[in-house]
Structure 1
Amino acid sequence: MKKIITLVALVFFSVSTFAQTQWTVDPYHSSLNFNISHSGISIVNGKFLDYTGSLTTKGDALNDAIFDFTVKIESINTHVEDRDNHLKSADFFEVEKYPEMTFKSTKISATEKSNQYILKGELTIKGVTKDVVFDVHYGGKVKNNQGEKLGMKAETTINRFDYNIDYDPTATGVGKEVNIVIHLQFAKQ
């Protein structure tokens, strides 16, 4: 009888150890932001307003977490309508042909710093998929009357030319490097 109880306890412990938690991005408490150099003298800020994202975690840490995001390019917003329309055109994102960009994680690992992670994944823009690396600051979890939430900030820099966004090939007017800063809050499902 002792062996059966021990076996049941081990099975229960093993199952709970590998249990996954599903999270969905909360767009009311998140933002997908970018900035790029303009004429080498200033910065243009923008964001995407329409996106979905999920996160799958195992246990309390982000190690082995899986991220999956889809962003609607049509939702780009730089607070200048003419510029937004130009960004949607074939000069930049070619939104009619490529309406979405996606990110799928391949690996996340903790760094030596507390609450700091390196997130690797594949970013697809205009049908081109490239490996990217985000620096992630894990903000933690909170539980309240609205459920359980998890927060983080992720940052990276990409070269727009890598994704065939090659308007102004000299990058004198529009810089080639795009800084991405993402603030995320996820809701436990």
Structure 2
Amino acid sequence: MKKLLLAASVAAMMTLPAQAADYVIDTQGAHAFVQFKISHLGYSWLYGRFNTFSGDFSYDADKLTDAKIQLTIDTASVDSNHAERDKHLRSGDFLNVSKHPKATFVSTKIVPKAGETFDLHGKLTLNGVTKEVVIAAEKLGEGKDPWGGYRAGFAGTTTLSLKDFDIKMDLGPASSTVQLDLTVEGIRK
């Protein structure tokens, strides 16, 4: 009888749905990045990043469509490696950080693609405007780390129209969009 109960218990546990794991984005170890690039008048690229942000995600490799992510960015942490330009980027011409000190992204759905790629849909709030965006993303990997934890990493990119987010500065047609690149490595909680 005990063997029958044990077998039934093991079988029941094997049919339980896998649970999504919760991860915190590793910004402390600098294993996550929010970067951007925009054309400078059509002649070159201007690169930058946001130095301060936080977030977390829930992920189950067997049920990718159930994954969720949220990210909060301190817009005053914009860094283009040029102090005067960064001051201008923080102004009302661009990010308007005095009125909108945070930008947020909250996922709404995931559409799997080929292999480890997927489209991450979500609501991005930037400069006080919320828009639905799609991030072309890919899973980079997951597994145990040398410190006894477990990590999962992803990368994604999207292109945003400045006017869609009420950014007033007109830099000309070559500079009307900005490419946003995200790399996140999460530590399982």
Q: Same fold (TM over 0.5)?
A: yes
Looking at structure 2, the residues matched to 140 and 74 of structure 1 have their Cα atoms a distance apart, in angstroms, of 31
CA distance in 2: counterparts of 1:103 and 1:69, whole angstroms? 5
| Percent of aligned pairs sharing the same letter | 30
Unaligned runs of 5+ in 2: none
Q: How many residues align?
A: 184
1:145, 1:4 → 2: CA distance? 35
The match for 1:22 is 22
What residue is the counterpart of 2:124 in the other structure? 123
Distance in 2 separating the partners of 1:57 and 1:167: 38
**CA distance in 1 between partners of 2:48 and 2:98 (Å):** 20
Q: Distance in 1 between matches of 2:5 and 2:151?
A: 40
The reply to whether residue 40 of structure 1 matches residue 42 of structure 2 is yes
Q: How does 1:54-133 map to 2 (within 5 A)?
A: 54-60=56-62, 62-111=64-113, 113-133=114-134
Q: Using the alignment, how far apart are the partners of 2:48 and 2:32 within structure 1?
A: 14
Are the structure 2 counterparts of residues 4 and 123 from structure 1 closer, same or farther at C-alpha, using a change threshold of 3 Å? Answer: same
Compute the TM-score of the two structures, normalised by the length of structure 2.
Answer: 0.89
Could you give the per-residue CA deviations for residues 108-135 of structure 1, whole angstroms, max 9, x where no partner exists?
A: 1211x21111110000012211010011
1:9: Cα distance to partner? 4.5
The letter of the residue matching 1:188 is R
Equivalent-residue separation in structure 2 for 1:130 and 1:149 (angstroms): 30
Shift of 1:181: 1.0
Q: Is the 8 A contact 1:102 1:125 kept in 2?
A: yes
Q: Aligned partners of 1:182 and 1:59: how far apart in 2?
A: 20
Q: Paired residue for 1:177? A: 177
Q: List per-residue Cα deviations over 1:118-176 (Å, max 9, x = no partner).
A: 110000012211010011111110212321111111011010110101212xx328711
Whether the 8 Å contact between 1:52 and 1:71 is mirrored in structure 2 is yes
Partner of 1:151: 153
SS of the residue 2:106 aligns to: strand
TM-score normalised to structure 1 length? 0.89
Q: Which runs of 5+ in 1 are unaligned?
A: none
Q: CA deviation at 1:4?
A: 9.9
CA-atom RMSD in angstroms: 2.1
The change in CA–CA distance for 1:159 and 1:173 in structure 2 (over 3 A counts) is closer
Contact in 2 for aligned 1:64/1:109 (Cα 8 Å): no
Instruction: State how far apart, in whole Å, the 1-side matches of 2:41 and 2:173 are.
Output: 4
Partner of 1:141: 142
Residue 40 of structure 1 and its aligned partner are, at CA, apart by: 1.7
1:85 CA drift (Å): 0.5
Deviation at 1:6? 3.7
